[in-house]
Amino acid sequence: MIAYQYKARDSNGALVTGTLEADDMRSFESSLDKMGLIPITVSTGALGGAKSSLFAGFLSKKITTKDVVLFSRQLSTLFGSGVPLTRALYTLETQMTTPKFVAVIKAIREDIEEGSNFAAAIAKHPDVFPEIYSNMVEAGEAGGILDEVLDRLAAIFEKSVENAAKVKSATLYPKIVIGAIVIAIIVLMNFVVPRFAKMYASFNVDLPLPTRILMAMSNAFVSYWYIAVIIAIVTFFGLKAYLASDKGMMARDSLVLKVPIFGQLIKKSTLSRFARVLGSMYRSGLPILQSLDIVSRAVDNGAIRKEIKVIEAEVREGKNISEPMSRCTHFDTMVIQMVAVGEETGNLDEMLDKVADYYDKEVDSTIRNLTTILEPVLLAFIFGIVLFLALAIFLPMWDILKVVQQ
């Protein structure tokens, strides 16, 4: 096989660049003609062997949510402009910069060319496109609104990426400060405290409690550090195994909702995702029971997911969504009232969109103020550590001075 790098013009005169694999120039020209492209320049390069392909695959970037968002936006625009789906996919295949994603798009396009529908082709790649994606695409294809559905999916995933980036940025400063404190404590335990301990041992004085605690911690750290490492490793893997179980995941997700500041942030973000996804799926024409089932798997928190499954079970019995929702712990009164109004008026999707917009604003406000909220807690933590170290190191010096003066 030969890789042909080309620049060409489409039927509208737009410049298209990309790479196409073919056995020879005649096959390449035939493939280009089928896509309605007129070549301007063409260059060739033999494809590497299996070993180099494997090495390139190992070094290639992972497919990120940003890639999926960009793909969805561009495909929505192309398809909405009347470009056939396979041709739109080929255009994106030549424009994406992540090799693994290019391979996925190519596989999807080839499946469609062989007779598969778009949703089924996407469903073959669950590690890239989650279940919510293929289900909404299926509804979009059935309803003839694929471009709108793709645009909604892009908005959903884009918001998730945006919130994650904001939280990461807001917590960067506390992470740096806590990391610096940990390094400082390790240095003190290994080098500073042992020297003070030797000096104090040469004087016949009773050491204050903070000093005795610090020296005991230093001795344990220096003499039995390997035990601490073993305990840390065993705890890490034991906790990881426990959290991988259903019971552990549920305990973690329930506990995290009770954590000050971050618990409310996670809850609001999860409820926003719930409302946004459910509203989008309902508007796309999916049955409400199927939508609730998919939404329960789309949210990240197990405690809220369990409540959604309870709502789904009661809706299956003929009840409205708002009725079982009112008995749930994690759904706020505002959400319940908005859903009830939406059910009564027949505008459930609009009400859910308003709920999602409200929580998005709440999440943005919390994230903006996160650094301001965390600063007093961080300062109190630093002050407590510095005070303890100061008392542990300097209190004995006063006792030694008294002994020397006597």
Beta pairing, strands 15-22 & 2-9: antiparallel
Report yes or no: 128 and 102 within 8 Å, Cβ to Cβ. Answer: no
Among 198, 200, 212, which residue's Cα sits nearest to residue 403? 200
* Confidence at residue 174, expressed as pLDDT on a 0 to 100 scale: 81
CA dihedral for 3, 4, 7, 12, sign (positive or negative): negative
Both tokens assigned to 396: 């004995």
Torsion angle, CA of 70/75/78/82, rounded to 10 degrees? -160
* Confidence at residue 399, expressed as pLDDT on a 0 to 100 scale: 64
* Confidence at residue 312, expressed as pLDDT on a 0 to 100 scale: 92
* Confidence at residue 52, expressed as pLDDT on a 0 to 100 scale: 41
Name the phi and psi angles at 243, rounded to 5: -70, -20
The C-alpha atoms of residue 165 and residue 167 are separated, in whole angstroms, by: 6
Which H helix or E strand runs over 43? Answer: strand 38-46
The C-alpha atoms of residue 370 and residue 169 are separated, in whole angstroms, by: 10
| Burial track 120-152 (b if 16+ CB lie within 10 A, e otherwise) | bbbbebeebbbebbbbbbbbbbeeebbbbbbbb
The C-alpha atoms of residue 269 and residue 301 are separated, in whole angstroms, by: 10
- Distances, alpha carbon 151 to alpha carbons 19, 145, 186, in Å: 27, 10, 51
If one counts every other C-beta atom within 10 angstroms of the C-beta of residue 390, the result is 11
Strand partners, 64: none
Both tokens assigned to 177: 């400060």
Four-way CATH pick for 65-161: 2.40.110.10, 3.40.50.300, 3.10.20.80, 1.20.81.30: 1.20.81.30
- Distances, alpha carbon 129 to alpha carbons 9, 123, 210, 350, in Å: 31, 7, 56, 26
Strand partners, 321: none
Name the phi and psi angles at 46, rounded to 5: -65, 140
- pLDDT by residue for the chain (406 residues), tens digit each? 677 777 776 666 666 777 777 776 667 777 777 777 776 666 665 444 444 444 444 445 688 888 888 888 888 888 888 888 888 888 888 888 888 888 899 899 888 888 888 988 998 998 888 877 887 788 778 778 888 888 888 888 888 788 778 778 877 888 888 888 888 888 887 887 787 777 777 666 677 888 888 888 888 877 888 888 899 899 999 998 988 888 888 888 899 888 888 888 889 888 988 888 888 878 877 788 888 888 887 788 889 989 999 999 999 998 899 999 999 989 989 899 999 999 999 888 889 989 988 988 888 888 888 777 788 888 888 888 888 888 887 777 776 666 555 5
The C-alpha atoms of residue 214 and residue 209 are separated, in whole angstroms, by: 9
* Confidence at residue 146, expressed as pLDDT on a 0 to 100 scale: 84
| Angle between helical axes of 348-368 and 146-170 (0-180°, round to 10) | 20
Output the CATH code of domain 262-368.
1.20.81.30
